Amino acid sequence: MKVNTDTSTKLDIEAKQDDTFNLVMNVKDSDGGLFDFSGYVATMEIKTPDSRTALGLTSMASAEDLNEAFIPSTITLSEGKIILLVSSSDMSISKSSYKYYLKLSNYNSSNTWFVGRFRITSN
């Protein structure tokens, strides 16, 4: 018998180095309506092959509780949408293939929603 509690969705992302990165993900709830993100905080960590954080995004207004690679207010959660917006200057990470995960947390849970490859191509 096998039980799989992994509910994350695999989504590979490709972005250009030194370009503004803007990704909007539409999310529905189990009834097909717009997902209500009230009370949620989002973090996305892009990791190098040796597990260092190359870039971190968060919906928090301050990232002082996270490591220095995190940029505050780069994720916006609105009704039915997860919006990632990173300035071109912050997208100066090296051309490479990384792994990432995007987690959402609220008062009683923390879950990985998206995982995959994050590939940076040259401009």
So what's the pLDDT on residue 34? 96
Give me the tens of pLDDT residue by residue for the chain, a chain 123 residues long: 888 888 899 999 999 999 999 999 999 999 999 999 999 999 999 999 999 999 999 999 887 777 778 888 999 999 999 999 999 999 999 999 999 999 999 998 999 999 999 999 987
DSSP string, the chain: --------EE--EEEETTS-EEEEEE-B-TTSSBP--TT-EEEEEEE-TTS-EEEEEESSS--TTS-TTEETT-EEEETTEEEEEE-TTTT-PPSEEEEEEEEEEETTEEEEEEEEEEEEE--
The domains found in the chain, sorted by start residue, are 9-121 (2.60.40.10)
Q: pTM of the entire structure?
A: 0.89
